[in-house]
Amino acid sequence: MLAGYYDGEMPVSRIPAGRLTDIIYAFGEPGRDDVCHPPDAHQTVAFAQLRALRAAHPGLRLLVSIGGWGGAPEFSDVALTPKSRAAFARSCVNLYVVRPDFDGIDIDWEFPVHGGVQGNPQRPADKTDVSLLLEELRRALDAVGAQRHRHYELTVATPTGRWQTGGAYDPSDSYDLARVARTVDWLNVMTYDMNNSASPMSGFNAPMRADGADPTPALERRWNCVACAVDYYEMHGVPAGKIVLGMPFYGLGYIGVSARNAGRYSRFRQPFPETPYAAVVSTFLTNPQWQRHWSASAQAPWLYNAKTHTFFSYDDQRSMAIKAAFVKSRHLRGAMFWVLGEDDKDNSLLRALSNALTNSQEL
């Protein structure tokens, strides 16, 4: 399977649906009083267009992701009691599955217990409550499915990066992963943002393998790569067949790095803005000030700008193909990416990813 998150920033008509099994709309949001925010007028139009797209591509599934990095402040309260969980599950299923006839729900709570946006309500009980919330959603979806003689998907977006708001982070702080895996159809494992503005130094956004040259503390370095994260999830009870590996269609960088090692693993002055791959191709790779490098150990590219002392980490067609081969070799469920609309005009990343997953030689 190959799923793409869709945030509405590109016309539905331009979505390359023929290469996708799932489109995950981002985002619906949890609201106050234990309900989901209803779709606004813009979302309602987008939902109708997405349903038409699905009709033109038999087998394509549509899910709605609820939450997101900035859309999770109510989750801790929503998940707190049996009453609030039941009310929330009913509301979300009615608003985003029954009425628009989508194929399921994805929960993106960033993050239970700690590590998310500073100021969001967070409780130690969140780790148990997120499992209970997912179980309540599973019951609500199954009830509608029994009436309609079909199965509705329930998925969850979960983190891997060891540097989150507040510093060092472990996904098991937030989730009982084995329990979550028993409830959901699959986990959208966010194997990106592994190094970011919370990191102590510049590093790769989504390194395939651990790099021995990385000087960060051993515990964080051990698990802060794509292959490492899959090992971690399986060690914590998540079957390979429920892991969907995340791919970034954007890059992250750091300004004010040292020229040593072309900016890699350096203290930095400030983060460089998140940048879509389309802009990397059209702006960075056409500018000789940006020099491309490849890490054989991390199996990832990076750019260094000596004039501005900027390190920039991104994925390209080569690294996407490597990750797709890893999905197949480890018998994972599939891949997903954030986000539709950030690829270049030729859909180079998506083509590399889908071709490698299907062994296609198409260019």
What are the pLDDT tens digits along the chain (363 aa)? 999 999 999 999 999 999 999 999 999 999 888 999 999 999 999 999 999 999 999 999 999 999 999 988 899 999 999 999 999 999 999 999 998 999 999 999 999 999 999 999 999 999 999 999 999 999 999 999 999 999 999 999 999 999 999 999 999 999 999 999 999 999 999 999 999 999 999 999 999 999 999 999 988 999 999 999 999 999 999 999 999 999 999 999 999 999 999 999 999 999 999 999 999 999 999 999 999 999 999 999 999 999 999 999 999 999 999 999 999 999 999 999 999 999 999 999 999 999 999 986 554
* Whole-number pLDDT of residue 363: 44
Instruction: Give the pair of three-digit tokens for residue 127.
Output: 């780790």
Q: Which CATH class is domain 2-248+315-358?
A: alpha beta
* Whole-number pLDDT of residue 72: 83
- Omega before residue 281 within 30° of 0, cis: no
The domain spans of the chain are: 2-248+315-358
Q: Is 153 a catalytic residue?
A: no
- pLDDT tens, position by position, 147-176: 999 999 999 999 999 999 999 999 999 999
Tell me, rounded to whole angstroms, the distance of Cα 357 from its chain centroid. Answer: 18
Beta strands in the chain (DSSP E): 2-6, 22-28, 61-68, 104-109, 153-159, 163-164, 167-168, 186-190, 243-248, 250-255, 270-276, 290-295, 300-305, 310-313, 334-338
Candidates 74, 110, 135, 342; catalytic one: 110
Helices (H) and strands (E) in the chain, counts: 11, 15
- pLDDT tens, position by position, 89-123: 999 999 999 989 999 999 999 999 999 999 999 99
> pTM higher than 0.85, yes or no?
yes
Alpha-carbon distance values, 277 to 9, 159, 185, 310, 316 (Å): 14, 21, 30, 17, 8
Point out which residues pair with 302 in neighbouring strands: 293, 313
Residue 83 burial by Cβ neighbours in a 10 Å radius (0-12, 13-18, 19+): exposed
Residue matched to tokens 């994972």: 332
**CA 222, CA 229: separation in Å to the nearest integer?**
9
**CA 246, CA 171: separation in Å to the nearest integer?**
15
- Ordered strands of the 300-305 beta sheet: 270-276, 250-255, 310-313, 300-305, 290-295
